[in-house]
Structure 1
Amino acid sequence: MKNSLIQNPKEGSFERTIICKSVFFMIQIAMEYLSAEVRHELGLNEEDISIEALQSLQENDIQGINITLLYVEQENTLKNLPHSRVLNDRVFYQVPPFSINLQLVLSFHFEQYVTSIQYLSETANFFHKKRWFSAENQRAGQPFPSALGRLVVDFQNIGLEQLNHIWSISGGVHHPALFYKVRLLRLEQDEAIEGPAIESVEINDEKQVIFSGSEEMKKYLKDNQENGT
């Protein structure tokens, strides 16, 4: 793979001995895994698919399939999931998993325009048949990264005005492209606070939330409520 985000990745494998927690490494792992899946499905060589900024397509005249990260957004639907667990009759409260969405563009630039259209069609068909990736449906020889929970790939419709704005970044040259939202990258937080189970939650006349339990636990829950988690 040209210009891999991770320096010297293990050939043929994205399994990490250390579970990466940061957003930066989660994005790296996800993009490189999807890149390898597309390359395998289309039967391409490693140099035929790259991860680059849109500007590089014009400046360096990069040919092949290029994957670009447009932006990252938080997945808000999981913010209200339970974030406590019981272990040996002890209650632990943990920051809920932080899930993000990656907005990706896959651009196709081969010497023959018809070749670009062919690979675009095959890629679209691949993600239509296989919309999600996890350890449950990993292919032989390509284990799903243990740092990720699941990747769900959704096709995105892009309006003409937004499309023109995106391609203006690359110097105004349009290439056949597919736009996808990759959902639910679960970033687990290690830090947890032990405390008694919360038996009641009350709201007083001043509309203040009152929790039963230790002072430390009250502060933890109140801070998370104020932060919207």
Structure 2
Amino acid sequence: MLGIALKLLRDELSNYIVQNKGPADPIVADDIILHNIGAMDSEAQDLSNKLVISLVNTEEESSLKNISNITKIGSSLNYTEPAVFLNLYILVSSTLGKDLQDAYEFALHRLSLVIQFFQAKRNFTVKNSPFTSISSDINISQEIKDELRLNVELYTLTFEQINHLWGSLGGKQVPFAMYKVRVVRIHENTSIIAPPIEEIHTNEEITN
């Protein structure tokens, strides 16, 4: 579910970036990727000249935590562990092109487009996202497609948090923005069906 949620955002953002980039900007749809930005300095990965979307933290949505795990089916009770609702913290990094003279300018313009995109569209579902391939993916159930409802908001870090973040990622800081994505529902479709408790018997004798 996490990958599906981020893929939906990537697909929609990718289309917007390509449609609105500058005429000299060489970025293409395949350059907007889901990847670990911490691998930016790895020789095995070339993450230069890209927009990289990375998941950097998850948080349980506490307001949706206390949902009943019991539903009644006829005369029986269905016991199911409640779903986990997560908020995702994603980092959108605009990396520099190694051989581009205006690499930093391109990176800043792309980041501006990212902020512009999420400012104009904050709520995402499969139905209101025409550019994602998720809607036609037969490997994703219709139930998951219907449940996917994301709200994206800009999340501001302090300078101390920024230093800690990029220090933990092990890479050099590039132009970036962090977003909080609410909420992703994760659940396992397993349950136990049992008859309701109607009587309580005890072995203790009642004495007068």
CA distance in 2, matches of 1:141, 1:166: 30
2:78 counterpart (87, 92, 112): 92
TM-score of the pair, normalised by structure 1: 0.66
Query: Which protein, 1 or 2, shows the higher relative CO under an 8 Å CA cutoff with sep ≥ 6?
Result: 2
Local SS of the residue matching 1:33: helix
Task: Find the counterpart in structure 2 of residue 76 from structure 1.
Answer: 62
Deviations 1:152-205, CA, capped at 9 Å, x for gaps:
2121110001101212244452211010112221113312233456xxxxxxxx
1:115 counterpart (77, 102, 106): 106
CA distance in 1, matches of 2:10, 2:132: 15
Structure with the greater alpha carbon radius of gyration: 2
Structure 1 residues 76 and 170 mapped into 2: Cα distance closer, same or farther (>3 Å)? closer
Deviations 1:118-170, CA, capped at 9 Å, x for gaps:
11111111112221211342316644564253122121110001101212244
2:118 counterpart (127, 134, 137): 127
CA distance in 2, matches of 1:135, 1:53: 25
Structure 1 residues 54 and 196 mapped into 2: Cα distance closer, same or farther (>3 Å)? same
TM-score of the pair, normalised by structure 2: 0.72
Identity %: 27
CA distance in 2, matches of 1:71, 1:140: 26
Ranges in structure 2 where 5+ consecutive residues have no aligned partner: 19-26, 98-102, 201-208
Letter in 2 for 1:154: E
Greater CA deviation, 132-141 or 176-185? 132-141
Whether the aligned pair in 1 keeps the contact of 2:85 and 2:186 (CA below 8 Å) is yes
CA distance in 2, matches of 1:190, 1:30: 19
Aligned length: 176
Matched, 1:56 2:31: no
